[in-house]
Structure 1
């Protein structure tokens, strides 16, 4: 089993509770979300080691040696913020290690702007039955702790 680390500290939320049908209905892939709460600033860390395949101010994908990608999306509808309040610390194509800081952002600013600050963590192109959720919804979890596993 391959472990996926939690990118932000917070409370685990079932993906079905994310107020975005693309995530809630698993259209992007299976996963779980984390509610970081009202933090003024938070670092989002790489969930796996690998190459940064995609990097936007509000989201990134890291692809591991096995070719499997993990998407971390910081907040819901945050693409509309035009990058304001998000500070990337890596570039597309960079090699990162699991737990390395990728983006600093403000969950409070996202919430204050009327958007949910939930952080979906999705394993791309994986059958849902191949994903194991290691921390159940409602539990709190530290950044860098194991969150998901897949084979």
Structure 2
């Protein structure tokens, strides 16, 4: 939060979250995991990737790389709002196999920057769906609501989510 001056923070009421993967957008309800599909992890969308790359959807910081499994990233916008990008379902079981992070916890990131590469074929051959939830985790005090937007996933195009702040 130190990146913004107080006056800039007062003006900030909306964050647009870009599309972090190339693929098809699907509702979270279509994710084959009850925690994501039921909205228990947060609000957002999912992407069925056509390419094994994750890009930064906004400028910010890598809050956490799930470093033993490398299957997920927690990103933090300068406002303090966090975003979870979880590549695949139950992919933690792969213990990092097929995932190549290009950033580490604490790194500053810029919109469009390559954050991770992953092997779609290896993940699917191991028996795991590669569908990727992209969501704003619940219990973030500053988040008023999350609006879902995109129809087709293309990084650099229309935003995937709009996060309305209190």
TM-score w.r.t. length of structure 2: 0.81
SS for the counterpart of 1:115 is: coil
| Unmatched runs of 5 consecutive residues or more in structure 1 | none
Residue 108 of structure 2 is aligned to residue 95 of structure 1: yes
How much has 1:10 moved relative to structure 2?
0.5
- 1:83 paired residue number: 96
> Could you tell me whether the CA contact under 8 Å between 1:47 and 1:70 is conserved in 2?
no
- Structure 1 window deviating more from structure 2 (69-78 vs 126-135): it is 126-135
> Could you tell me whether the CA contact under 8 Å between 2:149 and 2:160 is conserved in 1?
yes
Q: Which has the larger radius of gyration?
A: 2
Q: What's the RMSD between the two structures over aligned residues?
A: 1.7
Residue 65 of structure 2 is aligned to residue 43 of structure 1: no
> Could you tell me whether the CA contact under 8 Å between 2:25 and 2:152 is conserved in 1?
yes
Q: Which has the higher contact order (CA 8 A, sep 6+)?
A: 1
How much has 1:143 moved relative to structure 2?
2.4
Matches of 1:50 and 1:141 in 2, distance apart? 21
Residue 5 of structure 2 is aligned to residue 5 of structure 1: no
SS for the counterpart of 2:124 is: helix
Matches of 1:85 and 1:122 in 2, distance apart? 22
| Unmatched runs of 5 consecutive residues or more in structure 2 | 1-13
> Could you tell me whether the CA contact under 8 Å between 1:68 and 1:124 is conserved in 2?
no
Residue 158 of structure 2 is aligned to residue 148 of structure 1: no
- 1:133 paired residue number: 148
How much has 1:129 moved relative to structure 2?
7.1
Q: Deviations over 1:98-151 (max 9, x none)?
A: 22111100122211211110010001235997111111xxx4321233111111
